[in-house]
């Protein structure tokens, strides 16, 4: 049976809602922003946004007219699109606290994976976790994320690495998504690693599982991890080709620890995103910059693991469209706070505050394939926005481990604080 994430929205707006007197960051436009265009936020001073039935109806400067419904007077504060987390592994069983202590004592992450730990440790725990428990974990994370002002998030599978558990994870994500306001986009990360009990898994994945999941989870994207001790370039290529043939959009974790040619292959295969890129060479930067593929940076894992960060400045200067993700997962990025990724992108990847905001809103929406649906304040878009406590948007990037926005509006409804 086909299973849909976000088939319903929990909060059903009963009447219009209007934010007035705001410094609006509209981020309006139809395509992902790349290169120099990543610095433009589409600011309207003293603007308003009127929402009705969960959608933005009108955006402008000055005073709106007509039935405003519930009014939020921003008093000159910043109102911007809710954030979008386009790279997040939100579903798992178990924990990795002991491994983290080993990493802190100097054991490299890749060595832990090679010896059957890391992702494979979480695979064992996830296989032993019921669908209900998985859904409960995802629901808790989604609730916490929406309170921080995240209006849409990706949720990857990838800790099952067999057909039964991967399907259980995707169903659990779909179930959790039905009870929250944050919008969820699922990704089938069946190619996250090669399980110890099935060395032929990448081949089985491409031949059998991806075609089967095209019927079961048609809303999902497909992802894989191209790295030593995970999938080789050829194995990852076979997964992406099978996914394309089954009608899925493709993404690839690549160039995280080693530059193996995965990013170039993914660009060639027309992947929607290449994610990580901490080890990207100048040649890879040029290749991604000249392509329509979006470069997704996930600096929270550099922070948590080894202090290595993607060359964000070089990528933007090469013309790339950059998006940001929290990379929330139990190992390399134990956080749900995309705002921390924005902070790190400025602190360590060379982005400006404006570029970090674009990367966590409109470009992240395009990375999830929903650029026409959310990520900007424009008539017709989902009514997802946040009002900051400040009159200058740099505050959301400058802060870390800081307070949530003053107001969070999702699907046209204000979340209670
Ligand atoms: O994006 N690189 C591959 N996957 C995750 C790590 C997941 C884990 O450690 O469990 C990442 O960093």
Say which CATH number the domain at 42 has. 2.30.40.10
* pLDDT for residue 416: 80
CA nearest 92: which of 166, 2, 185? 166
Question: What stretch of H or E contains 99?
Answer: helix 97-104
272 in a domain, yes or no?
Answer: yes
311 in a domain, yes or no?
Answer: yes
* pLDDT for residue 10: 53
Q: What is the distance, to the nearest Å, from the Cα of residue 248 to the centroid of all Cα atoms in its chain?
A: 17
| pLDDT over threshold 60, residue 1 | no
The rounded distance, in Å, linking the Cα atoms of 32 and 22 is: 24
7 in a domain, yes or no?
Answer: no
Percent of the chain with pLDDT over 90: 92
12 in a domain, yes or no?
Answer: no
Task: Please tell me the total count of domains within the chain.
Answer: 2
| pLDDT over threshold 80, residue 113 | yes
Residues 288 and 398 in one domain: no
| pLDDT over threshold 80, residue 80 | yes
Q: CA separation (Å) from 355 to 61, 150, 290, 351?
A: 24, 17, 18, 6
- Which atom of ligand 1 has the smallest separation from the CA of 256? 2
Residues 289 and 252 in one domain: yes
- With a 6 Å cutoff on the Cβ, whether 139 touches ligand 1 is no
The rounded distance, in Å, linking the Cα atoms of 244 and 210 is: 10
The rounded distance, in Å, linking the Cα atoms of 10 and 12 is: 6
- Average of pLDDT values for 276-304? 98
Angle at 252 between CA 334 and CA 374, to 5 degrees: 75
Q: Give the tens place of pLDDT for each residue, 202-255.
A: 999 999 999 999 999 999 999 999 999 999 999 999 999 999 999 999 999 999
> What is the 300 CA–ligand 1 centroid distance (Å)?
11
CATH assignment of the domain containing 107 = 3.20.20.140
Q: Which is it for strands 55-61 and 43-52: parallel, antiparallel or unpaired?
A: antiparallel
Residues 133 and 255 in one domain: yes
> What is the 28 CA–ligand 1 centroid distance (Å)?
32
| pLDDT over threshold 50, residue 372 | yes
Residues 400 and 348 in one domain: no
* pLDDT for residue 12: 62
157 in a domain, yes or no?
Answer: yes
- With a 6 Å cutoff on the Cβ, whether 327 touches ligand 1 is yes
The rounded distance, in Å, linking the Cα atoms of 390 and 121 is: 43
- Average of pLDDT values for 48-66? 96
Residues 71 and 38 in one domain: yes
Where does the pLDDT of residue 339 fall: very low under 50, low under 70, confident under 90, or very high at 90 and above?
very high
Residues 233 and 134 in one domain: yes
- With a 6 Å cutoff on the Cβ, whether 118 touches ligand 1 is yes
- With a 6 Å cutoff on the Cβ, whether 225 touches ligand 1 is yes
Nearest CA to ligand 1 atom 6: 332
Which of 119, 251, 303 best tests ligand 1's pocket when mutated (most atoms within 8 Å of CB)? Answer: 119
Residues 304 and 317 in one domain: yes
Q: Which has more pLDDT, 195 or 416?
A: 195
* pLDDT for residue 5: 58
- Which atom of ligand 1 has the smallest separation from the CA of 305? 12
* pLDDT for residue 8: 44
5 in a domain, yes or no?
Answer: no
Residues 318 and 395 in one domain: no
53 in a domain, yes or no?
Answer: yes
- Average of pLDDT values for 89-99? 96
> What is the 392 CA–ligand 1 centroid distance (Å)?
34
Residues 255 and 392 in one domain: no
Determine the structural domain holding residue 251 and report its residue range. 84-367
- Average of pLDDT values for 105-132? 93
Q: Which residues contact 137 (CB under 8 A, 6 or more apart)?
A: 90, 91, 92, 93
Q: Which is it for strands 78-81 and 83-85: parallel, antiparallel or unpaired?
A: unpaired
* pLDDT for residue 7: 45
- With a 6 Å cutoff on the Cβ, whether 326 touches ligand 1 is no
The residue among 329, 345, 367 that closes a domain is: 367
> What is the 140 CA–ligand 1 centroid distance (Å)?
20
* pLDDT for residue 3: 56
> What is the 331 CA–ligand 1 centroid distance (Å)?
7
* pLDDT for residue 347: 98
Share the mean pLDDT of the chain: 96
Residue 394: Cβ within 10 Å count: 16
- With a 6 Å cutoff on the Cβ, whether 332 touches ligand 1 is yes
- With a 6 Å cutoff on the Cβ, whether 251 touches ligand 1 is no
Residues 185 and 107 in one domain: yes
| pLDDT over threshold 80, residue 275 | yes
197 in a domain, yes or no?
Answer: yes
- With a 6 Å cutoff on the Cβ, whether 301 touches ligand 1 is yes
| pLDDT over threshold 70, residue 6 | no
Residues 188 and 247 in one domain: yes
* pLDDT for residue 207: 98
Residues 202 and 317 in one domain: yes
The rounded distance, in Å, linking the Cα atoms of 154 and 338 is: 12
Secondary structure E strands in 89-232: 150-156, 183-191, 221-226
Tokens representing 162 are 């067999």
* pLDDT for residue 317: 98
Question: What stretch of H or E contains 386?
Answer: strand 385-387
């Amino acid at each position: 049976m086909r299973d849909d994430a976000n088939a319903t929205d929990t909060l059903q707006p009963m009447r219009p809602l209007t934010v007035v007197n705001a410094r609006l960051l509209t981020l309006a436009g139809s395509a992902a922003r790349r290169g120099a265009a990543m610095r433009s936020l589409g600011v309207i001073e003293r603007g308003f946004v009127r929402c009705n039935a969960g959608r933005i109806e009108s955006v402008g400067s000055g005073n709106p007219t007509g039935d405003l419904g519930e009014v939020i007077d921003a008093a000159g504060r910043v109102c911007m699109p809710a954030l979008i987390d386009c790279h997040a592994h939100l579903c798992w069983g178990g924990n990795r606290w002991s491994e983290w202590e080993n990493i802190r004592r100097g054991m490299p992450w890749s060595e832990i994976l090679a010896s059957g730990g890391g992702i494979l440790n979480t695979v064992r725990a996830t296989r032993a976790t019921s669908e209900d428990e998985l859904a409960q974990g995802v629901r808790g994370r989604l609730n916490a994320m929406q309170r921080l002002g995240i209006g849409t998030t990706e949720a990857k599978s990838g800790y099952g690495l067999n057909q039964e558990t991967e399907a259980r994870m995707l169903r659990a994500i779909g179930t959790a998504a039905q009870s929250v306001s944050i919008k969820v986009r699922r990704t089938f990360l069946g190619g996250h690693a090669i399980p110890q009990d099935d060395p032929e898994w990448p081949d089985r994945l491409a031949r059998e599982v991806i075609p089967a999941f095209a019927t079961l989870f048609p809303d999902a994207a497909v992802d894989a991890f191209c790295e030593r001790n995970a999938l080789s370039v050829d194995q990852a290529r076979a997964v992406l080709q099978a996914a394309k043939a089954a009608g899925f959009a493709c993404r690839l974790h690549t160039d995280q620890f080693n530059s193996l040619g995965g990013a170039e292959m993914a660009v060639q295969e027309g992947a929607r995103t290449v994610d990580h890129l901490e080890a990207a060479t100048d040649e890879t930067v040029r290749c991604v910059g000249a392509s329509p593929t979006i470069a997704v940076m996930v600096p929270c894992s550099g922070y948590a693991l080894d202090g290595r960060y993607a060359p964000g400045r070089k990528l933007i200067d090469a013309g790339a469209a950059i998006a940001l993700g929290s990379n929330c997962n139990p190992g390399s990025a134990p956080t749900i706070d995309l705002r921390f990724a924005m902070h790190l992108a400025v602190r360590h990847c060379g982005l400006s505050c404006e570029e970090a905001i674009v990367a966590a809103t409109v470009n992240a929406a395009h990375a999830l394939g929903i650029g026409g649906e959310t990520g900007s304040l424009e008539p017709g878009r989902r009514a997802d926005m946040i009002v900051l406590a400040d009159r200058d948007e740099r505050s959301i990037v400058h802060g870390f481990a800081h307070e949530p926005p003053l107001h969070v509006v999702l699907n046209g409804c204000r979340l209670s604080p």
